[in-house]
Chains A and B, each alone.
Chain A
Amino acid sequence: MNPPTQWPPRPATIEEMMLQALAMEREAVARYSELADIMETHNNREVAELFQRMAGYEQHHVDHILEDMHWPRNIVTPRYGGIWTAPDGPEAVPLEDMHYLMLPWHALQLALAAEQRAHDFFDGLAREAASDAIRKAALEMRAEEAEHVELVRAWLAKVPQPDSDWAADPDPPRHTD
């Protein structure tokens, strides 16, 4: 999909930059929680728990930003167009990538890609920064995302790779005969 016309965003102040960061982290919490609910509904408990844990990590980021900036929980963040190129934010796993039989390995691949996009988002903000103070703040956020990338990588190394028939279902939902 083509990016919004306002791209690229260039926050003029630290507050503006942190509002963008907060918007992205909130999207990530909401999306991981939604994915956890979806997997729970479809009785895929292992992946549901994994997404719930990811939501928890992202919630830490949200809390951290709010505390640091002395902002109230119901602060309004900038909407959509001016912020990012990917729909729903760089750190949100796309909803359409879900599969009811997916394994932790698949879920972690999606999380890894999302964390990498978040890292690149802050990297872009640091490069575009209008002042040294903004650059410094963006680099701090980038470092936190880099930690997440490593955390997910380490987790991924511990889970087995799926067999080739992981999506095989003897009673598939689309059986129409």
Chain B
Amino acid sequence: MNEVAAPVETAAFAAADYKSGYKPVWCPGCGDYGVLGGLTRALAILQLPPHQVAVVSGIGCSSRIPAYTSCYGFHGVHGRALAAGTGLKVARPDLTVIVAGGDGDGYSIGGNHFLHACRRNVDLTYIVMDNHVYGMTKGQASPTTEPDWNSKLTPGGTGVRSFHPLVIALAAGANFVARAFSGDSGGAAEIIAQAIRHPGFSFVEVLSPCVTFRPEQKDWKQAVRRTEIPATADPAQAARRIMTDDGFNIGVLYAGDRPVYGRTHGTGIAPAELEGEFAL
């Protein structure tokens, strides 16, 4: 068609360059594939060299994600991903730190770390792949499970009110709060890229169906909608918005300007000197 090629834009990294050679072992149809796609595309949007990015996780199906990227990775202890990620970012502020995991990992055993990570507002991005269940351990209820979800393990449902991660993140001090959907990994990529760019603690809740233990979540595809309202920097307005939505609005819900935690002093202490403090 064209005889003379016009100048075109080229890129050093494509999304595929952020994938490792390991093939995920997630169930076919699992939403986590879409999250991996969203994350790798986000990194390609930002053109971050893989060796300048660290992906830190806890335990769960979703927490396998670092192994499937070509970035530095740390597959840590259940519920402790944010503690490891926060430490890494404070020690190595030059790295882009992405912490990822499930709703069980982040809101049950890791719930207290979640609150304080929001409050500290260290410059990292936290992606929760929320499927409202513990997938890896075969389908127990998690904090985001609906109170009436009936299963063999919770006959008639837990009867316990579900946790509202977005409003809790906002109240606790997160500087960026968004919701994405794994079935729309291009859209998730745009949101994750914004989260990484935004200073401070950025929280992205990705609705990511567990097709094995919650097959009914396949219907999320019909329920989700892109929010048409731009993000607000006013926490009160964001809180009203988040509290009144039905959990299926996709987009950036809050992008604030809260002060970001950084190393302000004490960078010069030698490890030996520090160890001396602990000598018996």
Contacts and interface: CB of A to CB of B under 8 A. Distances in A.
Given A34-B33, A41-B23, A75 B10 contact: yes
B28 A39 contact: yes
A124 B187 CA distance: 22
A73 B45 CA distance: 17
Contacts of A97: 29
B189 interface: yes
Contact of B2 (A42, A68, A98): A68
B235 to A, nearest CB: 26
A69 B211 CA distance: 41
Contacts of A76: 8-11
A80 B190 contact: yes
A38 B33 contact: yes
Contacts of B25: 41
A164 interface: no
Contact of A38 (B2, B11, B24, B153): B24
B226 A4 contact: yes
Given A30-B16, A176-B139, A95 B23 contact: no
Given A2-B225, A69-B5, A37 B23 contact: yes
Contacts of B187: 80-81, 87
Contact of B27 (A1, A88, A89, A173): A173
A154 to B, nearest CB: 26
A4 B250 CA distance: 12
A18 B15 CA distance: 20
Interface in A46-95: 68-72, 74-76, 79-81, 87-89, 94-95
Binding site of B, secondary structure by majority: helix, strand, loop or mixed? Answer: loop
A41 B24 contact: yes
Interface in A80-121: 80-81, 87-89, 94-100, 102
Interface of B: 1-2, 4-6, 8-12, 14-16, 23-29, 31, 33-34, 37, 45, 138-139, 151-153, 181-187, 189-190, 209, 211-213, 218, 221-222, 224-226, 228, 250
Given A2-B226, A95-B182, 19 more contacts: A1-B183, A4-B226, A14-B2, A34-B37, A37-B23, A38-B26, A70-B2, A70-B4, A72-B10, A75-B9, A76-B11, A79-B45, A80-B189, A87-B184, A87-B186, A96-B31, A137-B1, A174-B212, A174-B213
23 contacts: A1-B183, A1-B225, A2-B226, A5-B228, A34-B37, A37-B23, A38-B24, A38-B33, A69-B1, A72-B10, A74-B14, A75-B9, A76-B10, A79-B190, A87-B186, A88-B186, A95-B34, A96-B209, A96-B218, A99-B28, A174-B138, A176-B138, A176-B139
Interface of A: 1-2, 4-5, 14-15, 18, 30, 34, 37-42, 68-72, 74-76, 79-81, 87-89, 94-100, 102, 137, 173-174, 176-177
